[in-house]
Amino acid sequence: MSSNHRLLVENADQVVVICNHGEKFLTKEGMKNLSVIQNASVVIGRDGLIEAVGPSKAISLQYSGASFDKVIDAKGMCVLPGLVDAHTHPVWAGDRVHEFAMKLAGATYMDVHRAGGGIHFTVEHTRAAAASELLGSLASRLARMLRAGTTLVECKSGYGLELQTEVKMLEVIEKARRSLPINISSTYCGAHAVPKGKTVAEATEDILQVQLPRLKELMSAGTLRVDNIDVFCEQGVFDLDATRSILQAGKELGLNINFHGDELHPMNSAQLGAELGALAISHLEEVTDEGIAAMATAGTAAVLLPTTAYILRLPQPRARAMLDAGVIVALGSDFNPNAFCCSMPIVMHLACVNMRMTMSEALAAATINAAYALGRSDTHGSLEVGKHGDLLVLNNSRWEHLIYQLGGHRELIRHVVIKGNVI
Ligand code: NIG
Ligand code: FE
């Protein structure tokens, strides 16, 4: 989607650029020292890309006499890049609110899973749902994310676990990508659980021999765009060898490796991801020091999901150890029937309070680094000239209010802009 008008956002008290030297990601000091311009303006061209960003005086001189189709007076407000949510499971049917009560009463995630709940419950309902129903609920979930400031979101399949439903889910994501304003990165997650009645070897065989070959056909025909491949690498789900063979096969199809690892048990998922050149690994509540070092060396991003640890009362991911080691730390909401959270501002708040990240680190993790985890940081994640004109205008003069305020973000976020269009 491109804009058909030129947009000027002028006189903002602060414009948070994030970084301004074409960095693909930030680590350590870079995450602490974000680029912020006081009293600044942003121009988005008719192609939907950022044309200029800088001090208001300089921009008004540069553009004196120029015409704009739309002008937003941002005096007393601030401007930030649109947020990037690097991990969600937003396509599903069936309500799991009852499991929240079970978990509050002490059941663990795996207790619920083994009792036939969790992913299996959602698989049953998603298999039975019509594509139109799935698209309707996906669209309203994505609209909620957009209102909370997310302008680029990763969306996984993974509640089919067989060809027909996995393709149905990916087609639903594809339709959303083509018809909704929000930017989508699409992920095949056929290895989200071992289907009931199958062994890990049988499930792996089905993915390698049936599901991935069909995806390859649909992708080459241009009917489906898939960006990433995901596996739930966990005890009692996919072991390390099965994970390796599925991720490798996905990589051969040109998909980015971006998978669930070291969540409930230390599995050496981080080392495996580093070995395979994974772009990102999510969760990592149980990652070892060796795993952290391997990810730092390989440039594999850690997508941390503070909602999971919060809801399941798991140990927090060791964000500080990862940041100190120079890992590229990103954030995601993990929106799914277990973690019903559409809001990256709440995710950043949890990351700061529970994982001890600073507000600058959390914002870098939810913008440039999340874009990197999706292979999109050339075009998204910061307010640099030539990148997509995706931004937020906050009804406050200090950007930190986006993280400080716990909820109520519809009041705080005055405008969400995607490719120059005010949504
Ligand atoms: O990221 N860990 C595996 N997958 C999801 C949960 C999916 C579900 O419970 O439906 C997660 O938390
Ligand atoms: Fe997940």
Q: How far apart are CA 173 and CA 135, in angstroms?
A: 8
Quick: pLDDT tens for 51-83.
Answer: 999 999 999 999 998 999 999 999 999 999 999
Handedness of CA 288, 199, 259, 256 (dihedral sign): positive
Span from the CA of 90 to the centroid of ligand 2 (angstroms): 10
Residue nearest to atom 3 of ligand 1 (CA): 232
Distance 399 CA to ligand 2 centre (A): 28
| Token digits of residue 87 | 């991990």
**Residue, of 190 and 110, whose pLDDT is higher:** 190
Neighbours of ion ligand 2 (CB under 5 A): 334
| Global ipTM | 0.95
Strands 301-304 and 329-331: parallel
Q: Which residue has the tokens 């006189």?
A: 11
Report pLDDT for 4: 59
**338 in Cβ contact with 301 (< 8 Å):** no
Q: Counting atoms of ligand 1 from 1, which one is nearest the CA of 338? A: 9
Least confident of 3-17, 77-91, 103-117, 254-268: 103-117
Distance from the CA of 405 to the center of ligand 2, in angstroms? Answer: 25
* Cα–Cα distance measured from residue 372 to residue 84, given in angstroms and rounded to the nearest whole number: 10
Exposure of 197 by Cβ count < 10 A (0-12 exposed, 13-18 middle, 19+ buried)? exposed
Given a contact cutoff of 8 angstroms between Cβ atoms, the answer to whether 31 and 64 are in contact is no
Counting ligands in written order, the one closest to the CA of 109 is 1
Give the pLDDT band of residue 421 (cuts 50, 70, 90): very high
116-119, long-range: CB < 8 A, 24+ apart: 118/338, 119/158, 119/159, 119/192, 119/193
Pairwise CA distance, residues 260 & 339, whole Å: 15
Looking at ligand 1, which atom is closest to the CA of residue 159? 10
Average pLDDT, the chain: 96
pTM: 0.97
CB 338 within 8 A of CB 311: yes
Task: Report whether pLDDT(179) > 60.
Answer: yes
Pairing verdict, β 391-394 and 70-73: unpaired
Residue nearest to atom 1 of ligand 1 (CA): 334
Confidence label for 5 from pLDDT (cuts 50, 70 and 90)? confident
Residue 39 and residue 10: Cα distance in Å, rounded?
9
Which pLDDT score is estimated for 262?
95
CA–centroid distance, 338 to ligand 1, in Å, is 7
- pLDDT band at 306; cut points 50, 70, 90: very high
Angstrom distance (rounded) from CA 105 to CA 114 = 16
Q: Residues near ligand 1 with C-beta < 6 Å?
A: 89, 118-119, 122, 232, 260, 263, 308, 334, 336-339
Query: From the CA of 233, which ligand is nearest?
Result: 1
